[in-house]
Every structure is written in C-alpha cells, then in structure tokens.
Chains A and B, each alone.
Chain A
C-alpha cells in the first residue's frame, strides 16, 4: 500500500521553481530516503508533505487523506523532525516532551510516562530537567526526534537527521530509526550523505535541482553499479594527456580523470591489472597505487546526478 503518494508536486517561490513537478510514493512500512545535495528541494518537499508549505501544483495523498485539504487530520498521524530543532530553549527536556504530547491530545499520565520512556531510550534521562538551550547539538537532535515520536505516529518525517552532529549521536540516531521502522513506523527521511541513505533506506529517490531523477531500491542500485568494473590508478605524474592513447589501446574501457594524478577506468567486462601497468611503464609514468574498486552507491549517485565527486567529497569533509 502506498501510504504517501505525491503527484506532479510543484513549489514556486516567485519566479524560482524549487520543486519541479515530482512524482513518488512511499510504501507502508518502508524507509524511503530523499538523497540530494544542498538546495535540491528536500526541505521544501517535506514542508509540503507535512503542511508547512502549500504546493503550487500537484496532489499529496497520505494514508488515504488529501494532504492539502485534510492536513489537520494528516498531522495527527505523522511525526515531524525538522532539520533545525524547534523546541523551547528555556524549557527542560522533560517539559518540552510533555508539552509536545499535549498538542496531540495525550492525557497527563500518558504524556509523562511516554516522556520518561523516551528520555531513557535516548539516554537523556540524566538531563531531563536541564533547559534545552544547555543541550549539545547531538542531544538537541535526539530530543527533537523524541518530541517527533511522542504520539507514536504512523509515519515519521526526518529532515537530515544526522547532519551536523557528532558521530556517536549520529550512530544512535540511525539505530533508532531502524528500530522504529522494525516496530512498524513508515519513515520518510532526507539526507545528503550517501552512506546514510545506503545504510538506512529500503528505497532512495535521487533529487537534484528540484527534480527526482531516479527512484530505486538500494539493492537494485548496487547491483546495477556492480555490473561495472572500475580500476583506479594513482600516478606519480599527471596522466590526463594519456586519455586518447589509453582509449585506443583498451577500447573496452571508458575513462574519467578525477584529478591530475588519479585515473578511473570503467568497463563492462572484468579487467586485468597487468596490461595497464605495462602501458604506464612504457610511458615512464610510475604507478604509486592501483586497485580494483568495488563500485559503491556513491558511483551510482555521481553517474545519475552528474554531480562531481569533488563536490561530494567537500560536503563529506564538512561533516567532520
């Protein structure tokens, strides 16, 4: 069953089209991820799905309800974890959770019981009385997730759940998302980390420049990627000028220079290392390192979106 279905979703901000007529669905019980670089339109899409932004065009159906006209009903069964925390700075962790529960009409006893439960589950029980503003980034994100699931929603939306926090918190959060999903919660998340998408999601939608360029299962993407064989060489000297010679000598490969000294060769058939070593040797270029690469989701991502590896690397470094 498609628990979320978006058809021809468009969002215009004045002349600028942030989301350009996207179609996708989310199966009940799965973890679906929107993977795309900054500015791709992920947050805008989540905002439309959760009722914080109105679509300029298109339709949204969530659990059989019209996501625009019936948004208040929809909001009762979904949980939302925004990219930046929106809890109350001056209130304690426990107080914040109890307040959020009251917004969903939960009774006092149930509210407090759930709040205690979640604080313990997120290892925040020691800090439940500390004001939210005194929390670290990772703790803030965890409490924001706790607030998003306090009413036990059927569908949970998470906007970049692991961005900008420490490694350990990120690991806990991934674990938590997996556990929630095992317990039956459908998850819609966005991320610009390929590893997160690969580790967490059942299916991934690639979103770039406001368009969904591909939706597929992680398994299918990997299988597709691994039909290709990739050889990578790190050279002592620049190898860019060798391109045409290389392609003449080895017609079955295609080549993508990654930098002056790095060359990746791709082929649909298995490649042997030695002929290439001889090739470089004959041209007096020393090979510092060579290896057969098992293509990863990252390669697929680059191929599908056309986003350069260099930019991806930069974003990854920004994480550390």
Chain B
C-alpha cells in the first residue's frame, strides 16, 4: 500500500516540476481566458456581459488546458521512450494512469478559476452557487483530462494528438450550449450536442453562475461520471493493446 502511494506522488511531483510548472504552461492559463474575454468584447462592440460568458470561458479554459497537457505528458514521453520505464515499474496500470492524469486535472481546475479571479475584479459575483460550481469544475476537469488521455494513447506522434484533440474541441465549443443555446441549434445537429460531455458540464456551470439550466444537476453529474469512467477504461484498454504489444 505504502509502495503505491510513494510511486503515485513520485510521478505526480515529477510531472508537476517537468511540465505544469514550466513558464509556458503557467502563462497559458492566463493568456487563454484573457483572450477569450477580449474576443467577446470585440465581437459585441459594447459592454460585454462578463457574467453571461463566464461559464463558457471557464469550460474552454479547462478543456484546452487539460487536453493539450496530455499530449505532452503521455504522447511525448511515449515517443521518447521514458513512458516505458513507467510501464515496466511494479505499479498497476490504473494507478499509473491516475498518477499521470492527476496533474492535468489539477491544472484544469486552476485554469478554470483564473477567469473567475479576473471577473471578480470587474463584476459582482454574488449569487453564484459555489458548491455546484466547484463540483462542475472538478467533473469537467476529470472528463476532459480523460478525453485528452484517450486521445494521447490512441496516437503515436505529438502532432497527431494535437490535431485529434481539435477534432473534439472545436465541435464541442459550438455544440455544447455555452455560446449558442442548444435550443437555437438546427434540430438535426442537436442530438450531437447530447453525446458531447461538455454539454453536461456547461449546463452545470450555467446553473451555478447564472441559475439557468435545462438538465437536473444530479443527471449532469451522473453523465460526466459515466463519460469519465468510459474514457478511462478505453484509455487503459488502448495502452494494453497498443503499447504492451
């Protein structure tokens, strides 16, 4: 038991020091929300309703932050063969993958609260359901990290991971109801929205920030848990099949 926790912390600490706390990644967390907010500001040509776009900016910060990290911490390590060292160590594959993803989950959570911090200087944040907001952030971070994991273990090259990520990220941006309400989408593509995990996460965020929601909180959480479980299972399955050849 003690063995495993030491290995878990060892991997997490190494990833933190080697990847997450490197200046480019820290600045990413700041540049991203600022540029998003600016984009909305320019587009609307008037005072932008920061509170209305806050859930969207938070969700995208998490999504982009987590998925792009995994292509480095997994695909790149695999390419440079250091991932083999982890596969050859006596810790179970499940624990190994949890150790490799915990850093990205924490990174995603921090990324989510940077826009909140900025917003707090500009607008009044009273009335936000902080409990549900935190749950939403946690579960979005977990789900999108595992999505990033699934992508990272399904490809061989870092650039493939990036391209493949965008294949998921951009449709999600437009179809998850953050900027265009799902009700306003053409009826044929609406079902698509409901197979994307971010739809449920953003519904939770909008409920906690702006008290508007279309799906019950518990249902949203349940769907996110199911998505996470499925993606994690598929990822370890892929590793066993492709990397322990």
Q: Which residues of A contact B (CB under 8 A)?
A: 50-54, 72-73, 75-76, 80, 82, 84-91, 99-100, 102-107, 147
Evaluate contact between A103 and B91: CB separation under 8 angstroms.
yes
Interface residues of B: mostly helix, strand, loop or mixed? helix
For A132, give the chain B residue with the smallest CB separation.
B82
Partner of B81, one of A51, A84, A102: A84
Which residues in B have their C-beta under 8 angstroms from that of A82? 81, 84
CA distance A105 to B6 in the complex (A): 5
A-B contact pairs, 27 of them (CB 8 A): A51-B87, A51-B88, A52-B87, A52-B245, A54-B244, A54-B245, A72-B90, A72-B92, A75-B90, A76-B90, A82-B81, A85-B81, A86-B81, A88-B18, A88-B82, A89-B80, A100-B85, A102-B6, A102-B10, A103-B89, A103-B91, A104-B7, A104-B90, A105-B3, A105-B4, A105-B90, A107-B6
CA distance A90 to B77 in the complex (A): 12
Which residues in B have their C-beta under 8 angstroms from that of A84? 81
Q: How far is the CB of A213 from chain B (nearest CB, A)?
A: 26
Within 8 A of A (CB), among B1-28: 2-4, 6-7, 9-11, 14, 18
The 10 closest A-B pairs by CB, nearest first: A105-B3, A102-B10, A76-B90, A103-B89, A86-B81, A75-B90, A105-B6, A86-B85, A86-B82, A103-B7
Is B119's CB within 8 Å of the partner chain A? no
CA distance A75 to B92 in the complex (A): 11
Partner of A102, one of B7, B84, B88: B7
Is B138's CB within 8 Å of the partner chain A? no
Which residues in A have their C-beta under 8 angstroms from that of B245? 52-54
Which residues in A have their C-beta under 8 angstroms from that of B85? 86-87, 100, 103, 147
Partner of B14, one of A85, A86, A99, A107: A99
Size band of the interface chain B makes with A: 20 to 34
For A50, give the chain B residue with the smallest CB separation.
B88
The proximity string for B residues 61-94 relative to A, scoring 1 for CB distances below 8 Å and 0 otherwise, is 0000000000000000000111011111111100
Partner of A80, one of B3, B10, B88, B92: B88
Evaluate contact between A87 and B82: CB separation under 8 angstroms.
yes
CA distance A301 to B245 in the complex (A): 31
For B245, give the chain A residue with the smallest CB separation.
A53
Which residues in B have their C-beta under 8 angstroms from that of A90? 18
Partner of A105, one of B2, B11, B14, B18: B2
Evaluate contact between B89 and A104: CB separation under 8 angstroms.
yes
Which residues in A have their C-beta under 8 angstroms from that of B87? 51-52
CA distance A21 to B84 in the complex (A): 25
Which residues in B have their C-beta under 8 angstroms from that of A54? 244-245
For A147, give the chain B residue with the smallest CB separation.
B85
Evaluate contact between A86 and B84: CB separation under 8 angstroms.
yes
Evaluate contact between B10 and A99: CB separation under 8 angstroms.
yes
For A85, give the chain B residue with the smallest CB separation.
B81
Which residues in A have their C-beta under 8 angstroms from that of B91? 72, 103
CA distance A86 to B89 in the complex (A): 13
Evaluate contact between A52 and B88: CB separation under 8 angstroms.
yes
CA distance A80 to B85 in the complex (A): 9
Evaluate contact between B7 and A105: CB separation under 8 angstroms.
yes
Which residues in B have their C-beta under 8 angstroms from that of A89? 80
CA distance A104 to B18 in the complex (A): 20
Which residues in B have their C-beta under 8 angstroms from that of A52? 84, 87-88, 244-245
For A80, give the chain B residue with the smallest CB separation.
B88
Which residues in B have their C-beta under 8 angstroms from that of A53? 244-245
Evaluate contact between B86 and A103: CB separation under 8 angstroms.
yes
For A13, give the chain B residue with the smallest CB separation.
B245
Evaluate contact between A51 and B244: CB separation under 8 angstroms.
yes
* Of listed B9, B81, B86, residue having the most chain A CB within 10 A: B81
Q: How far is the CB of A109 from chain B (nearest CB, A)?
A: 12
CA distance A89 to B85 in the complex (A): 13
Which residues in B have their C-beta under 8 angstroms from that of A75? 88-90
Assuming the A-B contacts A53-B245, A82-B81, A89-B80, are A102 and B86 also in contact, with contact meaning beta carbons closer than 8 angstroms in the complex? Answer: no
Q: How far is the CB of B1 from chain A (nearest CB, A)?
A: 9
Partner of B18, one of A50, A51, A91, A103: A91
Which residues in A have their C-beta under 8 angstroms from that of B89? 75, 103-104
* Of listed A86, A88, A90, A103, residue having the most chain B CB within 10 A: A103
For A106, give the chain B residue with the smallest CB separation.
B6
